[in-house]
Amino acid sequence: MTSLLDLDISTGPGLWIADILALAALAALVVRRPARRWMLVAGLGALVGLIVGLAVVFVVQDLLDVFNSPISVVSRLWIYAASAACGLAAASLWVTRGWRRAVGVFAVPWFLVTAALGVNAGFGLEPTIGDLIGIETQPALAVPPLVPRTSSDADSTIPLADRWMPPSELPGSRTGRIVIPAISSDFAARDAVEWLPPAALVDDPPDLPVVVMMMGQPGSPSVDIIGDVLDEFAAHHSGLAPIVVSVDQLGGADTNNPLCIDGYQGDARTYLSTDVPAFIRSTFNVQDAREAWTVAGFSNGGICALTLGALYPETFGNIIDVSGELQPDLGSVEKTIDTGFDGDSAAYKRAKPTSILATHRFTDTWAIFASGAFDEPYLGASRILEKDASAAGMTTSLAISPGTSHGGATLEYGLRHAFETLYPRLGLSTE
């Protein structure tokens, strides 16, 4: 069962099998002796299906913005094509018998499944079946033992890259899940997922920098993309990379959105700002200096990362905000204020990153923003937030991923740019 849940459905055989079966079903329905009645029924069915698909996307996405996220042209085309194919298959049931009718019955749900996989592949954030349906398949993390340190070790001003002597054979990176208990907060978080670089797994590991990572909403803790990016960096820097802890800022379910505050869905902010750092410090061999701690996020996780970095600069010296939201959002300003802030519009305004940045000054915080060239409204938000962060004294940069929208390709681009910028500051390279 686990191997099935781990099947790659974004670029691997799972997606290919779905596409091949869908094309075979379509061919079986379309390829037959020319018949005017069949061509008329098939064309009408496909047209009606296409109209239904156009209407659904318009209402759900363009009019109501149910998922609070943009949808790419490719994703729209998947939905339109599946709708037209479903219309054709449904119409064919009226004029066919025998095995073709059986194919039509099979084809309707399979076209929908194939479209869902195509849309998912376009976003690039849920690479396996387990990821897509929210079933965690990561094993429990085997945590390396803590190494006692002397004060001279902790206070070393020499960059780690200059004093690191790797063994002749480095282990590979390690990924696993771990429970981060809510000690100071009332927050029901899902298991975190960790990525440990090769340098963390040697017999006498050095203290390493930390990245606290948060994914979007809907979403769940994942190191799939950031782990792939840092595997490449570690390979070019003798196994050195930050320890990554991907945490659940949503509180137990993809559909939750506690807005990164202590409020209507639990103490998300206290959990993330107090419980998570305390657990990391007591569990892993990590550096204490704020310059070695980075808070990162994508979309909903991006606004949370910026908020935490701005409110707790004594903990986080670096921020990575990839396509982060501009303000707390439950679908509309009115709903956000009424539901998320119990009707308190002043509290809503104070929770906006723009308001936090306008009322704080920073002297040594680095903030890296990134978004896709086709990722509106998030690109616009990134431009505004980068400008405000710079005005508040942060050292900032903005990277725009060419040709990408709100998905995994943008996140990968943003993380790659961010670590190229941060590696020297983290002491992991001297370049």
pLDDT tens profile 337-377: 999 999 999 999 999 999 999 999 999 999 999 999 999 89
DSSP state of 63: I
* 136: in domain: no
Per-residue confidence (pLDDT) for residue 93, from 0 to 100: 76
Identify whether 187 is part of a domain.
yes
**pLDDT band of 27, cuts 50, 70, 90:** confident
- Does the pLDDT value for residue 28 go beyond 60? yes
- Determine, yes or no, domain membership for 134: no
The top-scoring range by mean pLDDT among 16-25, 254-263, 394-403 is: 394-403
Q: What is the pLDDT of residues 172-188, one digit of tens each?
A: 999 999 999 999 999 99
The tens digit of pLDDT for each residue in 207-233 reads 999 999 999 888 889 999 999 999 999
Q: What span, in angstroms and rounded, lies between the C-alpha atoms of 357 and 385?
A: 9
Residue 97 lies in a domain: yes
Residues 224, 178 share a domain: yes
Residue 370's pLDDT is 98
Choose the weakest-confidence range: 35-44, 236-245, 344-353: 35-44
Q: Nearest CA to 416 among 232, 240, 198, 238?
A: 232
User: CA 403, CA 64: separation in Å to the nearest integer?
Assistant: 26
Residues 281 and 385 in one domain: yes
Q: Let me know how many helices (H) and strands (E) the chain has, helices first.
A: 17, 10
Q: How many CB atoms lie within 10 A of CB 87?
A: 24
8 Å CB contact between 207 and 149: yes
Q: Name the strand (E) or helix (H) holding 296.
A: strand 293-298
Query: For position 401, which CATH number holds?
Result: 3.40.50.1820
Q: Is residue 215 part of a domain?
A: yes
Average pLDDT in the 90-110 region? 79
Helical spans, DSSP H, in 288-330: 300-311
Residues in CB range of 316: below 8 A, 6 or more apart: 212, 290, 293, 294, 295, 308, 309, 365
Which pLDDT score is estimated for 150?
60
Could you give the CA distance from residue 389 to residue 387 in angstroms, rounded to a whole number? 6
Q: Does 1 score more than 50 pLDDT? A: no
On whether residue 135 sits in a domain, the answer given is no
Shared domain for 114 and 213, answered yes or no, is no
Q: Looking at the structure, do residues 198 and 290 belong to the same domain, yes or no?
A: yes
Domain shared by 414 and 310, yes or no: yes
| Cα 115–chain centre separation | 21
Shared domain for 87 and 167, answered yes or no, is no
Based on the fold, state whether residues 266 and 379 are members of the same structural domain.
yes
CA distances from 37 to 5, 55, 92, 200 (A): 44, 27, 11, 69
| Residues 177 and 97 grouped into a single domain | no
* CB 429 within 8 Å of CB 423: yes
pLDDT, mean over the chain = 88
- For residue 431, being part of any structural domain is answered with no
Q: Return d(Cα 199, Cα 116) in angstroms, integer.
A: 39
Q: Quick one: 209 and 249 in the same domain?
A: yes
User: Looking at the structure, do residues 301 and 174 belong to the same domain, yes or no?
Assistant: yes
Indicate the pairing of strand 293-298 with strand 318-322: parallel
* Residue 92 pLDDT > 90: no
The answer on 302 and 214 residing in a single domain is yes
The percent of the chain in helix, strand and coil, each rounded to the nearest 5, is 50, 10, 40
Could you give the number of structural domains in the chain?
Answer: 2
What's the pLDDT at 139?
80
Q: Are both 284 and 174 inside the same structural domain?
A: yes
The 10s digit of each residue's pLDDT in 290-317 is 999 999 999 999 999 999 999 999 999 9
pTM of the entire predicted model: 0.84
The distance of Cα 43 from the centroid of its chain, to the nearest Å, equals 40
Could you list the residue range(s) of the whole structural domain that residue 25 is in? 2-123
DSSP 2-16: HHHHT-B-SSSHHHH
Structural domain includes residue 377: yes
